[in-house]
Chain A
Amino acid sequence: MKTRVLIAEPSEIIVAGLVQLLSEVSRFKILDPVTDASMLDERIIASKPDVVIVNATLVPSAASVRTDRNISVIALVYQYVEQLHLRRFDAVIDIRESRASIVETIIEATKTQTQHDGDNTTNYELSKRETAVLVLVAKGLTNKEIAEQLNVSPHTVMSHRKNIVHKTGIKSVAGLTVYAMLNNLIDESTLL
């Protein structure tokens, strides 16, 4: 079954670009975009999306958009948006990211939601992308360096780091390094 993606964004240029980029991915079905925020609720009910990609400045949080708990709400960002605000979404897409990274974020976000639905348990294990970020954090890279290396936005790195802390319960970088070592994700020779 295709993932139904609804884009809610006032700028026609951004909408056109995103639709173009995502419609080349066969697993996505791109629904008719919403350009007027006041129409969003109605359209979600009518078109039953799996994922809503919404301009982060249009709505206060993922919860305010979600009509059904299986819907993932991803914040779309192309200007500075307060971190605190972005934490209220399931994931963040920055339009400066590569296509691969945007597609991956959407797929990851829908996965988490499906697992919510399936056996009513959260995915406690780190995802592939989170593990990649963790390894770089453990090696001592800054968010900016990690973003460059993985070709994603700093916003996305922050959101992965937040999930890593949430899942592992480990807050300090030194602690994450121990975690990475004990799980054989890195060895000492790779430490800076």
Chain B
Amino acid sequence: MKEILYDCSRKMSELLTEEPGLIRILQRAGIPLGIGDGSIGQVCRKHGVNPDFFMLLCNIYTHENYAPTLSRVLETPMAQLVPYLKASHDYYVSKRLPHIEQHLHHIARQLPAKAADVFMRFFESYKREVTDHFAHEEQLVFPHVEALQRGEADTNYSIATFIDSHGNLEDKLNDLVQIIFKYLPGAVTSEDSVDVVYDILQVSSDLNKHSLIEEKVLVPYVKHLEEVVSR
């Protein structure tokens, strides 16, 4: 595992060529493209992003089985964690889901009215599930983390609640893919279907990484903060 993990001395553009999916992390961390020829560390520092934090995210994003040790998590500056997670939420809610929804509307127009209605309602309910999930994090979890980071004891919330309620956001998207693959009437043009399937799969995999970052970084980090602050 060790040798395939990235380190900060590598050239940033090489990293992105190898793993283009990581441009999403760049974007959310606030590093614009046009990165030039600097190393990962140089590019990060230029934009005020902590390189160790950036690498931690890149490693989790790319290597599915990688779980950073607790000491690694605690050594990494986490000032940018909440802003990063918020930026991801924003990206899903204001960019990706509306995009998929448009595609689905296009497909639904080619379905019989009743089927179209159920089809779109399914997506509506999924969208509500996602927005509720994010709202919970933004209204309860993130303020809790920020309070702890300021050294304030915050007994209004506990990360244990988050662990219990942290559900899976990909299941319904995958159901949608199965439905489109298998059960759409032949009248729907396959170009629309193929496009939307690609979009859905991409969001689904991205959401999965997002959960991994929350599970492998946010949870252990906040658990630790809760212990430290309560002492």
Binding site for B on A (CB under 8 A): 168-172, 174-175, 177-179, 181-183, 187-188
Contact = CB atoms under 8 A, between A and B. Distances in A.
B125 interface: yes
Contacts of A182: 111, 115, 118-119, 179, 183-185
A187 B179 CA distance: 17
Contact of A178 (B118, B174, B185): B118
B157 interface: no
Contact of B176 (A175, A183, A187): A175
Contacts of B114: 181, 187-188
B192 interface: no
A156 B70 CA distance: 45
11 contacts: A168-B182, A169-B178, A170-B175, A174-B175, A175-B179, A177-B122, A179-B179, A181-B118, A181-B119, A182-B185, A188-B118
Given A170-B178, A181-B115, A175 B183 contact: no
**Tier of interface size on chain B:** 20 to 34
B117 interface: yes
B115 A174 contact: no
Interface of B is mostly: helix
Interface string B40-68: 00000000000000000000000000000
Interface of B: 111, 114-115, 117-119, 122, 125-126, 171-172, 174-176, 178-179, 182-185
A182 B183 CA distance: 7
Given A169-B182, A171-B171, A182-B118, 13 more contacts: A169-B175, A170-B175, A170-B179, A172-B172, A177-B122, A178-B119, A178-B122, A178-B183, A179-B179, A179-B183, A181-B114, A182-B115, A188-B114
B100 to A, nearest CB: 15
Contacts of A171: 171, 174-175
A183 B183 CA distance: 7
Contacts of B182: 168-169
Nearest to B168: A171
A81 B137 CA distance: 38
A170 B176 CA distance: 8
A181 to B, nearest CB: 4
A172 B119 CA distance: 13
Nearest to A169: B178
Contacts of A169: 174-175, 178, 182
B201 to A, nearest CB: 14
Contacts of A178: 118-119, 122, 175, 179, 183
Given A182-B183, A183-B183, A177 B118 contact: yes
Nearest to B175: A175
A28 to B, nearest CB: 36
B175 A172 contact: yes
Contacts of B172: 172, 174-175
B193 to A, nearest CB: 13
Nearest to B114: A188
Contacts of A175: 122, 172, 175-176, 178-179
A174 B174 CA distance: 12
